A and B are shown apart, each in its own frame.
Chain A
Amino acid sequence: DQQVKQNSPSLSVQEGRISILNCDYTNSMFDYFLWYKKYPAEGPTFLISISSIKDKNEDGRFTVFLNKSAKHLSLHIVPSQPGDSAVYFCAASEWSGNQFYFGTGTSLTVIP
């Protein structure tokens, strides 16, 4: 059973516009969330994280929003750049847990 879901397998955005990637989860015990970015033939690389005590975390062009009541988080990229084209994975864990649960990924294409 997929505890972390990314329902959009792909997304296309014009360069300079905002990219919004969404993630939903089912386990109410999750309280730490991460986004990873993956280029072809490379391993995923850490992008940004957020803990449940916050509802927003910002790092440069990347902002993650967390809505605990809706069990939903999103990654905003503003402005989007062609180099942002990659697969983005959402991941979640419990504070005391060992596992990170990953979504199926969203493939972002930023069109120049």
Chain B
Amino acid sequence: GAGVSQSPSNKVTEKGKDVELRCDPISGHTALYWYRQSLGQGLEFLIYFQGNSAPDKSGLPSDRFSAERTGGSVSTLTIQRTQQEDSAVYLCASSLFPGSAGRGGELFFGEGSRLTVL
């Protein structure tokens, strides 16, 4: 497709279960970001991938969160032992320019995956 694709669009899970969220970025985009938006909050940075460089994981809220990007394209965000405070919309974004922040690159967002932890 032409845009960033995320799946599932909605996920309801029970507390303590693991979930995987998938992001398929725009073809050719080397930078990939994960953000989340909790109710009433702004977009919270989680993790950033750029090419083959080590990811910037500084935004991951706990060691229950992990992400990988295979083949420089598709990314999976995994949340282990989900908690109710993990409920949020998880947004993936990709960008064309390496290290695009501040160099004229903008982020292209997917529609998000809404996670509800009961």
Residues of A within 8 A of B (CB): 2, 4, 6, 31-32, 34, 36, 41-46, 49, 51, 89, 91, 93-105
Interface of B is mostly: loop
Considering the complex, give the chain B residue whose CB is closest to the CB of A33. Answer: B102
In the complex, what's the smallest C-beta–C-beta distance from A100 to chain B, in angstroms? 6
Q: Which of B101, B104, B110 contacts A43 (CB 8 A)?
A: B110
Q: A-contacting residues of B (Cβ < 8 Å)?
A: 4, 33, 35, 40-45, 48, 50, 56, 58-59, 91, 93, 99, 101-104, 106-112
Q: Is the CB of A44 within 8 A of B42?
A: no
With A43-B111, A93-B102, A94-B102 as known contacts, state yes or no: A102 contacts B50, CB within 8 Å. no
List 7 A–B pairs whose Cβ atoms lie within 8 Å, in order of A's numbering: A44-B91, A51-B102, A99-B56, A99-B59, A102-B45, A103-B42, A105-B42
